[in-house]
Homo-oligomer: A and B are copies of this chain.
Amino acid sequence: MELRRWPRKNDPDSIRARQEALAPRLDDNGEVFAHDLAPFASATEAITGVALVPVAVVGPIDIELGDYALEEPEGRLVERGRMNEGVFVPLANTEGGLSVSLYRGARAVGESGGFRTHVVRDRITRASAFLFADAAQALAFSRWIEGQLEEMKAWLASEPVANLSTHAKLRELETHVVGPMCHVMYAYTTGDACGMNMITRNSYALNQGFVLDRTPVKPARAMLEGNMGGDKKVSARYFERGGHGKTVIAEATLTEEAVRRVLKTSLDDLAELAFVGTHGAVASGMQSVAFTPATAIAAMFTATGQDIGMVGTSSMAHGTAHLVEGGLHVSMRLASLEVATVGGGTTLPYARSWLRLLGCAGPGKVYRLAQIVAAATLSLEISASAAMATAGSENFYRAHFERGGLR
Protein backbone atom coordinates (compact mmCIF):
# COMPACT_ATOMS: atom_id res chain seq x y z
CA MET A 1 0.00 0.00 0.00
CA GLU A 2 2.98 2.29 -0.42
CA LEU A 3 1.61 4.45 -3.14
CA ARG A 4 2.05 7.76 -1.39
CA ARG A 5 1.14 9.99 -2.92
CA TRP A 6 -1.85 8.26 -4.35
CA PRO A 7 -1.88 8.75 -8.15
CA ARG A 8 -4.72 10.81 -9.56
CA LYS A 9 -4.24 10.28 -13.28
CA ASN A 10 -6.51 8.12 -15.41
CA ASP A 11 -3.97 6.66 -17.83
CA PRO A 12 -4.04 2.85 -17.97
CA ASP A 13 -0.92 2.49 -15.82
CA SER A 14 -2.21 4.70 -13.06
CA ILE A 15 -5.56 2.95 -13.09
CA ARG A 16 -3.87 -0.44 -12.91
CA ALA A 17 -1.58 0.71 -10.11
CA ARG A 18 -4.56 1.75 -8.04
CA GLN A 19 -6.44 -1.45 -8.76
CA GLU A 20 -3.48 -3.61 -7.81
CA ALA A 21 -2.90 -1.71 -4.64
CA LEU A 22 -6.53 -2.10 -3.59
CA ALA A 23 -7.24 -5.65 -4.78
CA PRO A 24 -6.09 -7.27 -1.53
CA ARG A 25 -8.58 -5.18 0.40
CA LEU A 26 -11.44 -6.15 -1.87
CA ASP A 27 -10.96 -9.87 -1.60
CA ASP A 28 -13.57 -10.64 -4.23
CA ASN A 29 -13.99 -11.61 -7.82
CA GLY A 30 -12.86 -8.25 -9.03
CA GLU A 31 -16.16 -7.29 -10.64
CA VAL A 32 -15.65 -3.63 -9.88
CA PHE A 33 -12.41 -3.60 -11.87
CA ALA A 34 -13.72 -5.63 -14.82
CA HIS A 35 -15.12 -2.76 -16.89
CA ASP A 36 -13.40 -0.69 -19.49
CA LEU A 37 -12.80 2.67 -17.81
CA ALA A 38 -11.58 4.48 -20.91
CA PRO A 39 -14.97 6.07 -21.72
CA PHE A 40 -14.96 7.57 -18.25
CA ALA A 41 -11.37 8.76 -18.19
CA SER A 42 -12.26 12.42 -18.43
CA ALA A 43 -15.17 12.24 -16.00
CA THR A 44 -13.22 12.55 -12.78
CA GLU A 45 -9.75 11.83 -11.37
CA ALA A 46 -8.43 8.66 -9.77
CA ILE A 47 -10.96 6.41 -11.48
CA THR A 48 -10.43 2.86 -10.32
CA GLY A 49 -13.59 0.89 -10.98
CA VAL A 50 -17.31 1.17 -11.36
CA ALA A 51 -20.57 1.03 -9.48
CA LEU A 52 -23.46 -0.65 -11.22
CA VAL A 53 -27.06 -0.04 -10.31
CA PRO A 54 -30.00 -1.98 -11.75
CA VAL A 55 -32.46 0.13 -13.70
CA ALA A 56 -36.17 -0.56 -13.77
CA VAL A 57 -38.24 0.94 -16.54
CA VAL A 58 -41.95 1.62 -16.29
CA GLY A 59 -44.45 3.41 -18.42
CA PRO A 60 -46.04 4.85 -20.28
CA ILE A 61 -46.70 7.83 -18.07
CA ASP A 62 -49.22 10.04 -19.82
CA ILE A 63 -48.15 13.66 -19.68
CA GLU A 64 -49.26 16.84 -21.34
CA LEU A 65 -45.91 18.59 -21.58
CA GLY A 66 -45.27 22.24 -22.18
CA ASP A 67 -42.76 23.38 -24.78
CA TYR A 68 -40.66 26.19 -23.33
CA ALA A 69 -37.96 28.57 -24.48
CA LEU A 70 -36.09 31.47 -22.96
CA GLU A 71 -37.07 34.79 -24.40
CA GLU A 72 -34.11 37.07 -24.94
CA PRO A 73 -32.78 39.42 -23.78
CA GLU A 74 -34.30 38.91 -20.36
CA GLY A 75 -34.34 35.16 -20.17
CA ARG A 76 -37.99 34.88 -19.27
CA LEU A 77 -39.55 31.46 -19.88
CA VAL A 78 -42.16 31.40 -22.62
CA GLU A 79 -44.50 28.53 -23.31
CA ARG A 80 -44.71 27.86 -27.04
CA GLY A 81 -47.13 24.98 -27.04
CA ARG A 82 -48.28 21.85 -25.30
CA MET A 83 -48.30 18.23 -26.40
CA ASN A 84 -49.41 14.86 -25.10
CA GLU A 85 -47.04 11.96 -24.72
CA GLY A 86 -46.56 8.58 -23.12
CA VAL A 87 -43.15 8.41 -21.52
CA PHE A 88 -41.16 5.45 -20.20
CA VAL A 89 -39.00 6.33 -17.24
CA PRO A 90 -35.75 4.65 -16.14
CA LEU A 91 -35.43 4.23 -12.39
CA ALA A 92 -32.00 3.21 -11.09
CA ASN A 93 -32.81 1.77 -7.70
CA THR A 94 -32.68 -1.24 -5.41
CA GLU A 95 -35.85 -0.57 -3.47
CA GLY A 96 -38.45 -3.27 -3.81
CA GLY A 97 -41.81 -1.81 -4.72
CA LEU A 98 -40.54 1.52 -6.00
CA SER A 99 -41.05 0.97 -9.70
CA VAL A 100 -44.40 -0.78 -9.44
CA SER A 101 -45.65 1.80 -7.04
CA LEU A 102 -44.62 4.66 -9.30
CA TYR A 103 -46.24 2.89 -12.22
CA ARG A 104 -49.45 2.40 -10.28
CA GLY A 105 -49.62 6.11 -9.55
CA ALA A 106 -49.02 6.86 -13.21
CA ARG A 107 -51.80 4.49 -14.26
CA ALA A 108 -54.26 6.09 -11.89
CA VAL A 109 -53.42 9.46 -13.39
CA GLY A 110 -53.51 8.04 -16.89
CA GLU A 111 -57.05 6.82 -16.29
CA SER A 112 -57.90 10.26 -14.91
CA GLY A 113 -56.76 12.11 -18.00
CA GLY A 114 -53.01 12.31 -17.49
CA PHE A 115 -50.51 14.70 -15.95
CA ARG A 116 -50.06 18.30 -16.93
CA THR A 117 -46.64 19.83 -16.30
CA HIS A 118 -45.31 23.37 -16.27
CA VAL A 119 -41.90 25.00 -16.02
CA VAL A 120 -42.17 28.19 -14.04
CA ARG A 121 -38.65 29.49 -13.69
CA ASP A 122 -35.09 28.73 -14.77
CA ARG A 123 -32.13 30.21 -12.97
CA ILE A 124 -28.95 28.97 -11.35
CA THR A 125 -27.19 31.03 -8.76
CA ARG A 126 -23.65 31.54 -7.51
CA ALA A 127 -23.54 33.76 -4.46
CA SER A 128 -20.19 35.41 -3.96
CA ALA A 129 -19.45 37.27 -0.75
CA PHE A 130 -17.39 40.37 -0.12
CA LEU A 131 -16.15 41.12 3.36
CA PHE A 132 -15.64 44.73 4.41
CA ALA A 133 -14.56 46.62 7.49
CA ASP A 134 -18.15 47.43 8.39
CA ALA A 135 -21.73 47.45 7.20
CA ALA A 136 -21.49 51.02 5.91
CA GLN A 137 -18.90 49.90 3.38
CA ALA A 138 -20.82 46.75 2.55
CA LEU A 139 -23.93 48.83 1.90
CA ALA A 140 -22.08 51.30 -0.28
CA PHE A 141 -20.70 48.37 -2.26
CA SER A 142 -24.17 46.87 -2.47
CA ARG A 143 -25.65 50.05 -3.89
CA TRP A 144 -22.85 50.26 -6.42
CA ILE A 145 -22.94 46.66 -7.62
CA GLU A 146 -26.72 46.62 -7.98
CA GLY A 147 -26.28 49.25 -10.68
CA GLN A 148 -23.70 47.26 -12.62
CA LEU A 149 -25.82 44.48 -14.10
CA GLU A 150 -25.98 45.76 -17.66
CA GLU A 151 -22.29 46.62 -17.63
CA MET A 152 -21.50 43.16 -16.36
CA LYS A 153 -23.51 41.51 -19.09
CA ALA A 154 -21.71 43.54 -21.71
CA TRP A 155 -18.34 42.77 -20.15
CA LEU A 156 -19.01 39.04 -20.14
CA ALA A 157 -20.25 39.17 -23.72
CA SER A 158 -17.00 40.86 -24.78
CA GLU A 159 -15.16 37.69 -23.73
CA PRO A 160 -12.50 39.54 -21.80
CA VAL A 161 -10.93 36.34 -20.50
CA ALA A 162 -10.28 33.03 -22.18
CA ASN A 163 -12.49 30.06 -21.43
CA LEU A 164 -15.50 31.90 -20.11
CA SER A 165 -18.73 30.11 -20.79
CA THR A 166 -20.99 31.74 -23.31
CA HIS A 167 -23.78 29.34 -22.41
CA ALA A 168 -23.95 30.84 -18.96
CA LYS A 169 -25.87 34.08 -19.30
CA LEU A 170 -26.04 36.44 -16.35
CA ARG A 171 -29.66 37.51 -15.88
CA GLU A 172 -30.04 39.24 -12.54
CA LEU A 173 -28.05 40.07 -9.48
CA GLU A 174 -29.26 40.67 -5.98
CA THR A 175 -27.40 41.63 -2.82
CA HIS A 176 -27.83 40.87 0.84
CA VAL A 177 -25.92 42.83 3.46
CA VAL A 178 -25.56 41.45 6.94
CA GLY A 179 -22.86 42.72 9.27
CA PRO A 180 -19.74 43.64 7.31
CA MET A 181 -20.62 41.23 4.49
CA CYS A 182 -22.23 41.83 1.15
CA HIS A 183 -23.48 38.64 -0.47
CA VAL A 184 -24.03 38.95 -4.22
CA MET A 185 -26.37 36.48 -5.84
CA TYR A 186 -25.52 36.14 -9.53
CA ALA A 187 -28.44 34.42 -11.25
CA TYR A 188 -27.70 32.80 -14.61
CA THR A 189 -29.29 30.61 -17.19
CA THR A 190 -27.04 27.88 -18.53
CA GLY A 191 -28.86 26.38 -21.50
CA ASP A 192 -29.31 22.64 -21.18
CA ALA A 193 -26.46 22.15 -18.73
CA CYS A 194 -26.77 22.23 -14.98
CA GLY A 195 -24.00 24.73 -15.25
CA MET A 196 -22.30 24.95 -11.87
CA ASN A 197 -18.84 24.94 -13.46
CA MET A 198 -19.81 27.53 -16.03
CA ILE A 199 -21.22 29.93 -13.51
CA THR A 200 -18.27 29.37 -11.21
CA ARG A 201 -15.90 30.37 -13.98
CA ASN A 202 -17.92 33.38 -15.00
CA SER A 203 -18.56 34.56 -11.47
CA TYR A 204 -14.89 34.27 -10.62
CA ALA A 205 -14.04 36.27 -13.71
CA LEU A 206 -16.65 38.88 -12.78
CA ASN A 207 -15.29 39.18 -9.26
CA GLN A 208 -11.64 39.37 -10.28
CA GLY A 209 -11.85 41.15 -13.60
CA PHE A 210 -14.80 43.45 -13.13
CA VAL A 211 -15.81 43.96 -9.53
CA LEU A 212 -12.46 44.25 -7.78
CA ASP A 213 -11.21 46.41 -10.60
CA ARG A 214 -14.03 48.91 -10.54
CA THR A 215 -15.60 48.94 -7.12
CA PRO A 216 -15.38 52.30 -5.38
CA VAL A 217 -15.21 50.49 -2.03
CA LYS A 218 -12.48 47.89 -1.66
CA PRO A 219 -13.41 44.72 0.17
CA ALA A 220 -10.97 43.11 2.56
CA ARG A 221 -11.82 39.74 1.05
CA ALA A 222 -13.71 38.39 -1.94
CA MET A 223 -15.08 34.87 -1.71
CA LEU A 224 -16.51 33.04 -4.67
CA GLU A 225 -19.29 31.57 -2.55
CA GLY A 226 -20.55 32.69 0.83
CA ASN A 227 -23.32 30.11 1.29
CA MET A 228 -26.30 32.05 0.03
CA GLY A 229 -26.13 30.33 -3.34
CA GLY A 230 -28.27 27.30 -2.55
CA ASP A 231 -25.79 24.76 -3.86
CA LYS A 232 -26.36 21.27 -2.41
CA LYS A 233 -27.97 22.35 0.84
CA VAL A 234 -31.70 22.95 1.10
CA SER A 235 -32.72 26.44 2.11
CA ALA A 236 -35.85 28.48 2.60
CA ARG A 237 -34.69 30.94 -0.04
CA TYR A 238 -34.49 28.40 -2.84
CA PHE A 239 -37.51 26.45 -1.63
CA GLU A 240 -39.64 29.54 -2.00
CA ARG A 241 -38.27 31.27 -5.03
CA GLY A 242 -36.45 28.63 -6.95
CA GLY A 243 -33.29 29.94 -8.55
CA HIS A 244 -31.14 26.83 -8.36
CA GLY A 245 -32.40 24.88 -11.35
CA LYS A 246 -35.86 24.61 -12.82
CA THR A 247 -39.03 25.42 -10.89
CA VAL A 248 -41.53 22.85 -12.14
CA ILE A 249 -45.12 21.99 -11.29
CA ALA A 250 -46.80 18.69 -12.14
CA GLU A 251 -50.51 18.28 -11.59
CA ALA A 252 -53.42 15.94 -12.19
CA THR A 253 -57.03 15.59 -11.15
CA LEU A 254 -57.66 12.05 -9.92
CA THR A 255 -61.11 10.68 -10.57
CA GLU A 256 -62.99 8.74 -7.95
CA GLU A 257 -63.15 5.75 -10.25
CA ALA A 258 -59.39 5.65 -10.89
CA VAL A 259 -58.63 6.09 -7.23
CA ARG A 260 -60.92 3.27 -6.27
CA ARG A 261 -59.94 0.87 -9.02
CA VAL A 262 -56.21 1.49 -9.38
CA LEU A 263 -55.25 2.91 -6.01
CA LYS A 264 -57.70 0.86 -3.92
CA THR A 265 -58.63 3.82 -1.79
CA SER A 266 -60.97 6.80 -1.91
CA LEU A 267 -60.80 10.49 -2.58
CA ASP A 268 -61.67 11.18 1.04
CA ASP A 269 -58.93 8.88 2.28
CA LEU A 270 -56.40 10.73 0.17
CA ALA A 271 -57.67 14.13 1.24
CA GLU A 272 -57.51 13.18 4.91
CA LEU A 273 -53.97 11.89 4.51
CA ALA A 274 -52.96 15.14 2.85
CA PHE A 275 -54.43 17.05 5.80
CA VAL A 276 -52.49 14.96 8.31
CA GLY A 277 -49.29 14.89 6.28
CA THR A 278 -49.27 18.64 5.71
CA HIS A 279 -49.63 19.36 9.40
CA GLY A 280 -47.08 16.67 10.29
CA ALA A 281 -44.63 18.38 7.95
CA VAL A 282 -45.21 21.73 9.61
CA ALA A 283 -44.97 20.25 13.10
CA SER A 284 -41.58 18.69 12.43
CA GLY A 285 -40.16 21.71 10.65
CA MET A 286 -39.87 20.00 7.27
CA GLN A 287 -38.69 22.17 4.43
CA SER A 288 -41.16 20.45 2.09
CA VAL A 289 -44.69 19.18 2.13
CA ALA A 290 -44.51 15.74 0.58
CA PHE A 291 -43.98 12.11 1.50
CA THR A 292 -41.30 10.72 -0.73
CA PRO A 293 -40.18 13.03 -3.55
CA ALA A 294 -36.51 12.17 -3.18
CA THR A 295 -37.11 8.53 -4.01
CA ALA A 296 -38.22 9.10 -7.58
CA ILE A 297 -35.77 11.92 -8.14
CA ALA A 298 -32.84 9.85 -6.92
CA ALA A 299 -33.79 6.96 -9.21
CA MET A 300 -34.04 9.17 -12.28
CA PHE A 301 -30.94 11.19 -11.41
CA THR A 302 -28.85 8.05 -11.02
CA ALA A 303 -30.05 6.60 -14.33
CA THR A 304 -29.57 9.78 -16.33
CA GLY A 305 -26.21 11.02 -15.07
CA GLN A 306 -27.43 13.97 -13.03
CA ASP A 307 -25.45 15.21 -10.04
CA ILE A 308 -26.39 12.86 -7.19
CA GLY A 309 -25.21 15.44 -4.68
CA MET A 310 -28.18 17.52 -5.80
CA VAL A 311 -30.83 14.95 -4.91
CA GLY A 312 -31.63 16.74 -1.66
CA THR A 313 -32.00 20.24 -3.09
CA SER A 314 -33.84 19.02 -6.17
CA SER A 315 -36.29 17.24 -3.88
CA MET A 316 -37.50 20.39 -2.10
CA ALA A 317 -41.16 19.75 -2.83
CA HIS A 318 -44.41 21.45 -2.08
CA GLY A 319 -47.33 19.12 -2.69
CA THR A 320 -51.02 19.92 -2.48
CA ALA A 321 -54.26 17.94 -2.61
CA HIS A 322 -57.61 19.64 -3.04
CA LEU A 323 -61.08 18.16 -3.48
CA VAL A 324 -62.68 19.64 -6.58
CA GLU A 325 -65.60 18.93 -8.86
CA GLY A 326 -64.79 15.63 -10.47
CA GLY A 327 -62.11 14.39 -8.18
CA LEU A 328 -59.02 15.26 -6.20
CA HIS A 329 -56.63 17.79 -7.64
CA VAL A 330 -53.07 16.89 -6.73
CA SER A 331 -49.88 18.73 -7.54
CA MET A 332 -46.21 18.84 -6.80
CA ARG A 333 -44.02 21.92 -7.03
CA LEU A 334 -40.30 21.24 -7.28
CA ALA A 335 -38.69 24.58 -6.59
CA SER A 336 -35.12 23.91 -7.68
CA LEU A 337 -34.84 20.85 -9.87
CA GLU A 338 -31.23 20.68 -11.02
CA VAL A 339 -31.33 18.70 -14.24
CA ALA A 340 -29.25 18.72 -17.40
CA THR A 341 -29.29 17.06 -20.77
CA VAL A 342 -25.80 18.13 -21.75
CA GLY A 343 -22.54 18.31 -19.80
CA GLY A 344 -21.28 16.50 -16.75
CA GLY A 345 -22.42 12.94 -16.22
CA THR A 346 -25.11 13.21 -18.90
CA THR A 347 -22.50 12.86 -21.63
CA LEU A 348 -21.32 9.47 -20.46
CA PRO A 349 -22.38 6.04 -21.66
CA TYR A 350 -25.40 4.55 -19.91
CA ALA A 351 -26.63 7.96 -18.79
CA ARG A 352 -26.83 9.06 -22.42
CA SER A 353 -28.79 5.92 -23.30
CA TRP A 354 -31.35 6.45 -20.58
CA LEU A 355 -31.72 10.08 -21.59
CA ARG A 356 -32.42 8.84 -25.12
CA LEU A 357 -35.17 6.59 -23.81
CA LEU A 358 -36.75 9.73 -22.35
CA GLY A 359 -36.27 11.65 -25.57
CA CYS A 360 -34.05 13.97 -23.57
CA ALA A 361 -30.52 13.49 -24.87
CA GLY A 362 -28.70 16.62 -25.93
CA PRO A 363 -29.55 20.28 -26.40
CA GLY A 364 -33.05 21.68 -26.29
CA LYS A 365 -34.37 18.97 -24.00
CA VAL A 366 -33.82 20.18 -20.48
CA TYR A 367 -37.32 21.57 -19.86
CA ARG A 368 -38.75 18.33 -21.15
CA LEU A 369 -36.61 16.36 -18.73
CA ALA A 370 -37.56 18.60 -15.83
CA GLN A 371 -41.25 18.04 -16.56
CA ILE A 372 -40.91 14.27 -16.85
CA VAL A 373 -39.05 14.09 -13.54
CA ALA A 374 -41.80 16.13 -11.90
CA ALA A 375 -44.53 13.89 -13.29
CA ALA A 376 -42.68 10.75 -12.20
CA THR A 377 -42.21 12.24 -8.74
CA LEU A 378 -45.90 13.00 -8.45
CA SER A 379 -46.71 9.48 -9.69
CA LEU A 380 -44.83 7.91 -6.82
CA GLU A 381 -46.20 10.43 -4.35
CA ILE A 382 -49.76 9.57 -5.35
CA SER A 383 -49.20 5.86 -5.06
CA ALA A 384 -47.34 6.04 -1.75
CA SER A 385 -50.05 8.32 -0.40
CA ALA A 386 -52.75 5.94 -1.54
CA ALA A 387 -51.01 3.09 0.21
CA MET A 388 -50.86 5.09 3.42
CA ALA A 389 -54.37 6.45 3.10
CA THR A 390 -56.17 3.12 3.17
CA ALA A 391 -57.54 1.91 6.45
CA GLY A 392 -54.57 1.62 8.76
CA SER A 393 -52.29 2.06 5.77
CA GLU A 394 -52.66 -1.61 4.98
CA ASN A 395 -51.51 -1.22 1.41
CA PHE A 396 -48.42 0.74 2.27
CA TYR A 397 -47.55 -1.99 4.69
CA ARG A 398 -48.13 -4.72 2.14
CA ALA A 399 -45.86 -2.94 -0.31
CA HIS A 400 -43.06 -3.18 2.22
CA PHE A 401 -44.04 -6.46 3.74
CA GLU A 402 -45.14 -8.94 1.16
CA ARG A 403 -43.23 -8.10 -1.94
CA GLY A 404 -40.23 -10.17 -2.89
CA GLY A 405 -37.66 -7.43 -2.57
CA LEU A 406 -34.51 -7.17 -0.54
CA ARG A 407 -34.93 -6.67 3.15
Known: A234-B286, A294-B311. A279 touches B178 (CB 8 A): yes
A312 touches B294 (CB 8 A): yes
User: Does any Cβ of B come within 8 Å of A239's Cβ?
Assistant: yes
User: Does any Cβ of B come within 8 Å of A263's Cβ?
Assistant: no
User: Does any Cβ of B come within 8 Å of A148's Cβ?
Assistant: no
Contact mask for chain A residues 171-197; partner B; CB cutoff 8 A; 1 contact, 0 none? 000001111110100000000010011
Contact mask for chain A residues 359-377; partner B; CB cutoff 8 A; 1 contact, 0 none? 1000000000000000000
- Residue with the highest number of chain B CB atoms closer than 10 Å, among A51, A96, A133, A281: A51
Contact mask for chain A residues 246-286; partner B; CB cutoff 8 A; 1 contact, 0 none? 00010101000000000000000100110111111111111
B284 touches A181 (CB 8 A): no
Give Cα distance in the complex from A197 to B128, angstroms.
Answer: 39
- Residues in B with CB closer than 8 Å to A391 are 221-222
Contact mask for chain A residues 291-324; partner B; CB cutoff 8 A; 1 contact, 0 none? 1111101110111010111111101011110101
The contact sample of 16 A-B pairs, CB cut-off 8 A, is A6-B58, A44-B54, A44-B93, A44-B405, A48-B55, A127-B280, A179-B279, A181-B280, A183-B280, A183-B283, A204-B393, A208-B392, A222-B391, A282-B318, A287-B287, A347-B406
User: Does any Cβ of B come within 8 Å of A170's Cβ?
Assistant: no
B400 touches A200 (CB 8 A): yes
Known pairs A134-B329, A183-B280 / 15 extra A-B pairs, C-beta < 8 Å: A6-B103, A8-B100, A46-B100, A47-B54, A48-B55, A49-B90, A116-B135, A196-B400, A204-B392, A204-B393, A207-B393, A222-B391, A232-B292, A232-B315, A347-B406
Give Cα distance in the complex from A41 to B404, angstroms.
Answer: 10
- Residues in B with CB closer than 8 Å to A52 are 35, 50-53, 349-350
- Which residue of B183, B204, B282 is within 8 Å of A289 (Cβ)? B282
Give Cα distance in the complex from A275 to B289, angstroms.
Answer: 13
B315 touches A297 (CB 8 A): no
- Which residue of B95, B99, B180, B230 is within 8 Å of A344 (Cβ)? B95
Give Cα distance in the complex from A116 to B134, angstroms.
Answer: 10
* Distance (whole angstroms) from the CB of A247 to the closest CB of chain B: 9
B94 touches A135 (CB 8 A): no
Q: Please tell me the size bucket of the interface on A.
A: 35 or more
- Which residue of B28, B57, B207, B277 is within 8 Å of A227 (Cβ)? B277
User: Does any Cβ of B come within 8 Å of A166's Cβ?
Assistant: no
B249 touches A31 (CB 8 A): no
A43 touches B406 (CB 8 A): yes
Q: Which chain B residue has the least Cβ–Cβ distance from A125? A: B284
Q: Which chain B residue has the least Cβ–Cβ distance from A359? A: B25
- Residues in B with CB closer than 8 Å to A144 are none
- Residues in B with CB closer than 8 Å to A394 are 204, 208
B322 touches A180 (CB 8 A): yes
- Residues in B with CB closer than 8 Å to A311 are 294, 298, 308-309, 311-312
B233 touches A286 (CB 8 A): yes
- Which residue of B50, B96, B396 is within 8 Å of A45 (Cβ)? B96
Give Cα distance in the complex from A297 to B313, angstroms.
Answer: 14
Give Cα distance in the complex from A180 to B329, angstroms.
Answer: 8
B396 touches A42 (CB 8 A): no
User: Does any Cβ of B come within 8 Å of A157's Cβ?
Assistant: no
Nearest 10 A-B pairs (CB), nearest first?
A: A312-B312, A236-B285, A179-B320, A227-B280, A236-B236, A224-B393, A94-B345, A298-B308, A40-B54, A204-B397
A278 touches B278 (CB 8 A): yes
Give Cα distance in the complex from A26 to B304, angstroms.
Answer: 13
User: Does any Cβ of B come within 8 Å of A169's Cβ?
Assistant: no
- Which residue of B32, B53, B396 is within 8 Å of A354 (Cβ)? B32
Known: A37-B54, A308-B308. A283 touches B176 (CB 8 A): yes
